[in-house]
Structure 1
Amino acid sequence: MENLPTPATPAAPSSSSGDYDAGAITKLEGAEAVRKRPGMYIGDTVHYGLHKLVYEVVDNSVDEALAGHCTDIEVVIHVDGSLSVQDNGRGIPVGPHPDPKFKGKDTLDVVLTELHAGSKFGNGAYKVSGGLHGVGVTCVNFLSEWFKVRIQRAGKVYEHSYARGVPQDAVTVVGETDKRGTLISFKPDPTIMEVVDFNFETLSQRMRELAFLNAGLRIVIRDMRIGKEHEFKFDGGIVSFVEYINKAKEALHDKPIHFSTEREGLALEIALQWNDGYDERIYTFANNINTHEGGTHLSGMKAALTRTLNTYAEKSGVWKDLKETPTGEDAREGLSAVISVKLSNPQFEGQTKTKLGNSEVKGLVEQMVNDQLATFLEENPIVAKKIVMKIGDATRARIAARKARETVRRKGILDGGSLPGKLADCQSRDPSESELYLVEGDSAGGSAKQGRDRRNQAILPLRGKILNVEKARFEKMLTSAEIVTLITALGTGIGREDYDPTKARYHRIILMTDADVDGSHIRTLLLTFFYRQMPELIQSGYLYIAQPPLYKVTRNKKDLYVKDQRGLNDYLLRIASDHSRVVTPGGELGGSELRSLLEKVLTYEERLEKLAARRDARVVDALVQGSSLNVATLSNEALLGEQVAQLRAYLQMRMPDTLGRMETAIVDDPEAQAKKLVVKTDINGGLRQSVFDHAFLSSPEYQELASLHDAFASLGKAPYKVKVGDGEVLALSVQEVLEAVRKDAQKGLGLQRYKGLGEMNPEQLWETTMNPATRTLLQVRVEDAVESDEIFSLLMGEAVEPRREFIERNALNVQNLDI
């Protein structure tokens, strides 16, 4: 497969002593090269490299969109750890490759197994593309445990599969279609990749960016493991991006300032809109790549923005009363902006290669922004006046904030010389081992002070709810005693001039609040403070949320603390497996065998719940347990009819009410050269359509359900006898077995749901929440910067209507409502 070159002369053998001679020189090519040195191709084999695999596949679909041939992309993370990307582009070409050096190899194999073989090297197939190295999807193939491709092209459906880059069969026609596109599915190879769990938020952020940067392109990302889904489509491109960022804020001007221009081979597109907030949000891109660390295009934009606005304001005389000239930070207060540049030879630098380094870009961007923005301000005096007045307000606020800071400093509070009296500091002066617990209330604070490890754990009790910094200017923030106390304890200072995150006195800052509505509110206020005022502490991984137990379970006069509902389920299963027996046609189950079965049933129920978003879970369950529907069945209409009869019989036995308004139909599915089953059921008075076709029945989600059912089927046919206590219960399904043993396990248990930390004494608080050997901490990370900013603005900002819409939209998803 690899076409390794034959050397003209034999290589001299390498000496056994390890000498550096001719025999030590080897050349790696193809799959061997990529698998031996994956970091050279995808950056690393952990989080960055894992998600890079997805981006390489998606970028090919985006290139189809850039070329005008694709409008929809769907990314799905599956329950088995695999991922699929489907588009409606032209489909990867198939058929023998015309180049004789490939010896009649199918074009699809050339694309997927030959490095640097692609259509982005100047032959006109793509005018613009996300990358030019030509190794992307090939590397994904080489670094995948398995890799499958399904192509709709020229009226045919083609399939092909690989294992670690090796073709498993020939390219095969499997059906007919009038659609077109490519579906690629792959599972990262755990023998190469150190991390194989895809992060939904990380991928979602990238998909949103691509949708914004490619106007009109619809991208859907779905995570079947957690039932979460986002759909992105923005007809306005980066203008929609800016409007999206500002949607939970009050914009100063209705429409973002937008211009697109080109100079000396550099294409620049920029969108700007100021809001009444106090934070700047600027996102920069180069060739569709998110340059998180900025670079020369950002420097050029900032310089031009400050100079152009200052020049305009001086001419208009708006700032005559200002005592100081506005700074660049003043000009950017409340600014949301997106900068996108495209250039032929980008140079990236920085630790993550996301900082644009082309020196010529700064001057070009500065010139273009100067020209375009100056023209806009002259032609739109009303908008211009609002912007410069906002900048004037920011300057006055900065001066007032400096005075407020100096006033506070004169009182000796912020100078670090005297720590707050309510702070119970730790003995260690090494920040890397020191922890600060921010505890809600004096009662819990007292328990925490008594229960802590004084050597390295500091306690700062917070009284009541701190100021919402999302709605407050800086100078008002400094009038809040709780916030000033917090800033002083942290030791970082605050504000543009004084803030220094490297001076943090603790490298673990742990939010410890009650598990009720007030506790959640206080935690959110604290998160807002850190996100808006000290984001570097989050980026450095210093911020954590304590995870106190949700339940205390008392059994036989012994107490056990359980973190959450899943932990409670596990505990109940342990009791059930020790005290219950299940008699089946295949024998009697108890102990570890019974527990293994019950865990599978729990997983089965969770998976059904996730599928309920798109199909009636009752029907899926009936198909899995009451029939033997599979991909092969779809090719035989008579067999399929029998499966429908079995489905109805199962529902009649288990859920006869379901049949009241259930309709079934068997229809053609030419793409699979088979049939598909369409079932309509009554849900809440309306008909719900569920489609069971080749794609669904071959999906990892359905396959997992079928696999779990196989484990249940080995028990023999229901009913089963469940021996609990001194009696017996008859169960008609494995779900009823779970329900019976769980109900029995709860007998005699004392269950207390904790709401307040103050309900625990110092020893309990230490053992459950503060002891490093037994506690659980949740590290706060920003995986999706745009969504994080939106959530904080939505929940904590001034705008009421977006918040109401958010509550209404998510009302039915609420769990554990505390009223």
Structure 2
Amino acid sequence: MTYNHAVGSAMPRSGHISLCAYPAPALSVRGGRGLCVSQPRCPRGWIRLRIVTAEYSAHHLQVLEGLEAVRKRPGMYIGSTDSRGLMHCVWEIIDNSVDEALAGYGSRIDIVLHSDGSVEVRDRARGIPVDVEPRTGLSGVEVVFTKLHAGGKFGGGSYAASGGLHGVGASVVNALSERLDVEVDRDGKTYAMSFRRGEPGQFAGPGPESPFTPFEKASQLRVVGKAAKGVTGTRIRYWADRQIFTKDATFHAEELEQRARQTAFLIPGLEIAIIDQRGEEIVETSHRYDGGISEFADFLAPDAAITDTWRLTGSGTFTETVPVLQAGGAMVPTDVERECEVDIALRWGTGYETVTRSFVNIISTPKGGTHQAGFEQGLMKVVRSQVEQNARRLKVGAGEKLEKDDITAGLTAVLTVRLPEPQFEGQTKEILGTPAVRAIVANVVAKELAERFSSSKRDDKAQTALLLDKVVSEMKARISARTHKETQRRKNALESSSLPAKLADCRTSDVEQSELFIVEGDSALGTAKLARNSEYQALLPIRGKILNVQKASISDMLSNAECAAIIQTIGAGSGRSFDLDAARYGKIILMSDADVDGAHIRTLLLTLFFRYMRPLIEAGRVYAAVPPLHRVIVVNPGSKPNETIYTYSEQELHTLLAKVQKSGRRWQEPVQRYKGLGEMDADQLAETTMDRAGRLLRRVRVQDAEAVSGVFELLMGSDVAPRRDFIVTSSDRLDREAIDA
């Protein structure tokens, strides 16, 4: 097939071109595509031809210079462009000030969230260097904020250990900012410089919308004032570029406060203040802690302690081959001896949750790394050895072996290591990759923890014995849960079941529709069986008050008949092995008498669910039935049948009686007061408490797990003194007439 040479003469070397029998000016070639600009559609009968070439050569390659790569691929440097990436930028700036404090310069950092959306970080450290860097001929300030992989943390002696390693943090934030202003106090002067999307220049006014003039011949580090004698520091304020970040990306003051508190724990004596000016009122919070990571571990712990907070410290050396810049400019591989310092604070509590925080040079590593792997390795080695040595006392069988989850149940640990130039996986520094750190941490943990277990001190002996008991109990609970996994499923025609004999199960296999009523006493069970809808309502009676699991150990809880029956009936396991998807019922309804004993039983049951089956509460699947307190029969005049009305509180009863009296009617005396569910007949119980059409249920929710945990520990825990104080101070709130309500 041929084509008009005048049309085809503009054909590019590669890409696509469309050809048609139309005069040459109609053809436009853009970016390797031929576009017919005169005729959007070819007339009927004309031919449009597309030719695709497969050539790929060096002229197709793009080389991104300077900060262009950061703006083109921001996720590589800050993780994402949503709120998480926005917060990462803040901490890239803050961490530079923190590194100064870690090196012993500056004792306060201020973080200001301005109302215009900008963020300002101020410190009183040494200040960014303002003299000229000899290779680039630029001031130190411009080098730090415009050159990738430039800084004082490449082993030059400015920092023994720091969170900054790659020299890209400040320059990345600058590249992703619509405007960035920096002021430095050094040598009795205040220097200033501004940038727009990484380019140095000068703004005509405040804010990023002000006219901007970039420097053309040479950049200028302005002297804008005088600094007091001996005063040094840095102030950085920037406006995030909304061309880069998503519209809903925002700074979270709560996350900033959490990170500031964490950093203050890690550097005793450092004060970090957050000033939030975005609302109607200025909110300022400040954090400073002198207790270090021991105080941090106590702060993080969600449960009552069974051991003191133990401190494990030590160090080790390793050799690492790194390229070292020589005087002539060549990079020569050199063996360098490094020292790794290890400092760990840990304690075990009565619960089963594990709280671990790991840090490298005070930079958080939420995804762990070699240091955390070494910590777990040393921990398992020592505890397994101690259990084997005490197997007879602990009644551990030959086939029973500890797993990591058994040992870390109830553990709260803060792990910190400090070493020069650690290897991280990526700029976000979430995982430590230095291989030698694993063995060093494992050796320190094994040595220090073994000394604790072999200590002759009375407190150490008592605490290590309690710890071993707890670890073995966790192991037995896990093995028991695994053994009974099959029997916890809903029975069917092909499967036998070992569900509790006293369970009156329902017929439906639809979990969402099914309901389990935990009923107080056998007398109430008899009435409830007649009142229930056996298609979807199951009944499990409990005898009296169950075990207070807040005080008891896991093994005591599992050996308690009532607790075991509840866990077995629900069929989802308990504690760490709990599986919400395996639960056999969509609703768990606690149905107890409307008196003090009933309230106590309900509290004991809620303690069991909160400690060992908390996902049920978090999913909103636990309810408390609300049986009525009174039954009032209102006498109607004439042949009109009498009216039965139920009330659920004393106040509601008095209001009803006053209303009936005002209408000129009367009621049958005495008004029936229900002390227990067994006093109702089946029709009354069904109508008021079990029938979906007319019943009232209270859903149990957990909005603040930490606060709820504190309340359970206060009311149900082993420590009597705080509970006694609570009762004494709250006695004036008691309504004696409402005791049975």
Common fold: TM-score over 0.5: yes
Q: Does 1:75 align with 2:111?
A: yes
Give the whole-Å Cα distance in 1 for the aligned partners of 2:385 and 2:440: 19
Partner of 1:92: 128
Partner of 1:56: 92
Q: Does 1:244 align with 2:319?
A: no
Superposed displacement of residue 39, structure 1: 0.9
Superposed displacement of residue 355, structure 1: 4.0
Give the whole-Å Cα distance in 2 for the aligned partners of 1:223 and 1:471: 42
Which residue identity lines up with residue 181 of structure 1 in the other structure? G
Give the whole-Å Cα distance in 2 for the aligned partners of 1:53 and 1:466: 52
User: Are 1:218 and 1:232, in contact at CA under 8 Å, matched by a contact in 2?
Assistant: yes
User: Are 2:402 and 2:475, in contact at CA under 8 Å, matched by a contact in 1?
Assistant: no
Structural mapping, 1:391-430, within 5 Å:
391-395=467-471, 397-398=473-474, 401=477
Give the whole-Å Cα distance in 2 for the aligned partners of 1:148 and 1:458: 67
Give the whole-Å Cα distance in 2 for the aligned partners of 1:231 and 1:803: 31
| C-alpha spacing 1:236/1:395, structure 2 compared with 1 (3 Å) | closer
Partner of 1:168: 202
Partner of 2:239: 187
User: Are 1:111 and 1:138, in contact at CA under 8 Å, matched by a contact in 2?
Assistant: yes
> Please, which of 159, 164, 167 is the counterpart of residue 134 of structure 1?
167
> Please, which of 399, 412, 415 is the counterpart of residue 339 of structure 1?
415
**RCO greater where, 1 or 2, for CA within 8 Å and sep 6 or more?**
1
Equivalences, count = 533
Give the whole-Å Cα distance in 1 for the aligned partners of 2:118 and 2:605: 37
| C-alpha spacing 1:380/1:340, structure 2 compared with 1 (3 Å) | farther
In the alignment, structure 2 segments of 5+ residues that lack a partner are 1-12, 15-29, 34-51, 204-219, 319-337, 520-535, 590-599, 623-687, 728-741
User: Are 1:53 and 1:140, in contact at CA under 8 Å, matched by a contact in 2?
Assistant: yes
Per-residue CA distance 1:763-796 (angstroms, 9 max, x = gap): 999xxx99xxxxxxx998xxxxxxx885455343
Per-residue CA distance 1:246-273 (angstroms, 9 max, x = gap): 49734533x5333232232333222233
SS of the aligned residue for 1:30 comes to coil
Superposed displacement of residue 144, structure 1: 1.9
Superposed displacement of residue 192, structure 1: 0.8
Per-residue CA distance 1:531-570 (angstroms, 9 max, x = gap): 86578999xxx95899xxxxxxxxxxxxxxxxxxxxxxxx
Which residue identity lines up with residue 99 of structure 2 in the other structure? D
> Please, which of 269, 289, 293 is the counterpart of residue 234 of structure 1?
289
Partner of 1:46: 82
Partner of 2:70: 34
| C-alpha spacing 1:211/1:262, structure 2 compared with 1 (3 Å) | farther
> Please, which of 249, 252, 275 is the counterpart of residue 196 of structure 1?
249
Q: Does 1:297 align with 2:371?
A: yes
User: Are 1:282 and 1:337, in contact at CA under 8 Å, matched by a contact in 2?
Assistant: yes
Superposed displacement of residue 61, structure 1: 0.6
Percent identity over paired residues: 37
> Please, which of 136, 160, 179 is the counterpart of residue 101 of structure 1?
136
Give the whole-Å Cα distance in 1 for the aligned partners of 2:588 and 2:361: 39
Superposed displacement of residue 73, structure 1: 1.5
| C-alpha spacing 1:38/1:404, structure 2 compared with 1 (3 Å) | closer
Which residue identity lines up with residue 322 of structure 1 in the other structure? K
> Please, which of 238, 254, 257 is the counterpart of residue 311 of structure 2?
257
| C-alpha spacing 1:177/1:309, structure 2 compared with 1 (3 Å) | same
Give the whole-Å Cα distance in 2 for the aligned partners of 1:76 and 1:259: 36
Give the whole-Å Cα distance in 1 for the aligned partners of 2:90 and 2:274: 12
Give the whole-Å Cα distance in 1 for the aligned partners of 2:300 and 2:293: 10
Partner of 1:367: 443
Superposed displacement of residue 111, structure 1: 1.7
Give the whole-Å Cα distance in 2 for the aligned partners of 1:389 and 1:473: 14
Give the whole-Å Cα distance in 2 for the aligned partners of 1:211 and 1:358: 26
Please, what is the CA RMSD of the aligned residues?
5.6
Give the whole-Å Cα distance in 1 for the aligned partners of 2:563 and 2:427: 37
Structural mapping, 1:808-819, within 5 Å:
none
SS of the aligned residue for 1:58 comes to helix
> Please, which of 302, 320, 325 is the counterpart of residue 393 of structure 2?
320
Partner of 1:270: 344
SS of the aligned residue for 1:81 comes to coil
Give the whole-Å Cα distance in 2 for the aligned partners of 1:145 and 1:483: 61
Structural mapping, 1:602-621, within 5 Å:
none
Structural mapping, 1:656-671, within 5 Å:
none
- Which of the two has higher C-alpha Rg? 2
| C-alpha spacing 1:181/1:366, structure 2 compared with 1 (3 Å) | same
> Please, which of 254, 258, 271 is the counterpart of residue 218 of structure 1?
271
| C-alpha spacing 1:289/1:533, structure 2 compared with 1 (3 Å) | farther
Per-residue CA distance 1:85-111 (angstroms, 9 max, x = gap): 22221122235x242533xx4432222
Give the whole-Å Cα distance in 2 for the aligned partners of 1:62 and 1:21: 47
User: Are 2:174 and 2:180, in contact at CA under 8 Å, matched by a contact in 1?
Assistant: yes
Give the whole-Å Cα distance in 2 for the aligned partners of 1:188 and 1:440: 55
Partner of 2:57: 21
Superposed displacement of residue 64, structure 1: 0.4
Which residue identity lines up with residue 469 of structure 2 in the other structure? D
| C-alpha spacing 1:502/1:21, structure 2 compared with 1 (3 Å) | farther
User: Are 1:309 and 1:388, in contact at CA under 8 Å, matched by a contact in 2?
Assistant: no
| C-alpha spacing 1:259/1:543, structure 2 compared with 1 (3 Å) | same
Give the whole-Å Cα distance in 2 for the aligned partners of 1:31 and 1:795: 53
Give the whole-Å Cα distance in 2 for the aligned partners of 1:157 and 1:351: 31
Give the whole-Å Cα distance in 1 for the aligned partners of 2:372 and 2:259: 20
Give the whole-Å Cα distance in 1 for the aligned partners of 2:454 and 2:291: 24
SS of the aligned residue for 1:191 comes to coil
Partner of 2:463: 387
| C-alpha spacing 1:399/1:286, structure 2 compared with 1 (3 Å) | closer
User: Are 1:252 and 1:276, in contact at CA under 8 Å, matched by a contact in 2?
Assistant: no
Superposed displacement of residue 77, structure 1: 3.0
User: Are 2:377 and 2:442, in contact at CA under 8 Å, matched by a contact in 1?
Assistant: yes
Give the whole-Å Cα distance in 1 for the aligned partners of 2:726 and 2:145: 44
Partner of 2:673: none
SS of the aligned residue for 1:92 comes to coil
| C-alpha spacing 1:529/1:93, structure 2 compared with 1 (3 Å) | farther
Superposed displacement of residue 212, structure 1: 2.4
User: Are 2:312 and 2:444, in contact at CA under 8 Å, matched by a contact in 1?
Assistant: no
| C-alpha spacing 1:527/1:225, structure 2 compared with 1 (3 Å) | farther
Give the whole-Å Cα distance in 1 for the aligned partners of 2:284 and 2:583: 38
Structural mapping, 1:358-507, within 5 Å:
358-395=434-471, 397-398=473-474, 401=477, 473-474=553-554, 492-496=572-576, 498-500=577-579
Which residue identity lines up with residue 177 of structure 1 in the other structure? A
User: Are 2:268 and 2:291, in contact at CA under 8 Å, matched by a contact in 1?
Assistant: yes
Q: Does 1:286 align with 2:337?
A: no
Provide the TM-score with structure 2 as the length reference.
Answer: 0.57
Give the whole-Å Cα distance in 2 for the aligned partners of 1:467 and 1:79: 54
User: Are 2:161 and 2:419, in contact at CA under 8 Å, matched by a contact in 1?
Assistant: no
User: Are 2:186 and 2:227, in contact at CA under 8 Å, matched by a contact in 1?
Assistant: no
User: Are 2:481 and 2:573, in contact at CA under 8 Å, matched by a contact in 1?
Assistant: no
| C-alpha spacing 1:299/1:82, structure 2 compared with 1 (3 Å) | same
User: Are 1:377 and 1:383, in contact at CA under 8 Å, matched by a contact in 2?
Assistant: no
Give the whole-Å Cα distance in 1 for the aligned partners of 2:85 and 2:195: 20
Give the whole-Å Cα distance in 2 for the aligned partners of 1:81 and 1:20: 45
Give the whole-Å Cα distance in 2 for the aligned partners of 1:366 and 1:137: 35
SS of the aligned residue for 2:417 comes to strand
SS of the aligned residue for 1:101 comes to coil
Q: Does 1:145 align with 2:178?
A: yes
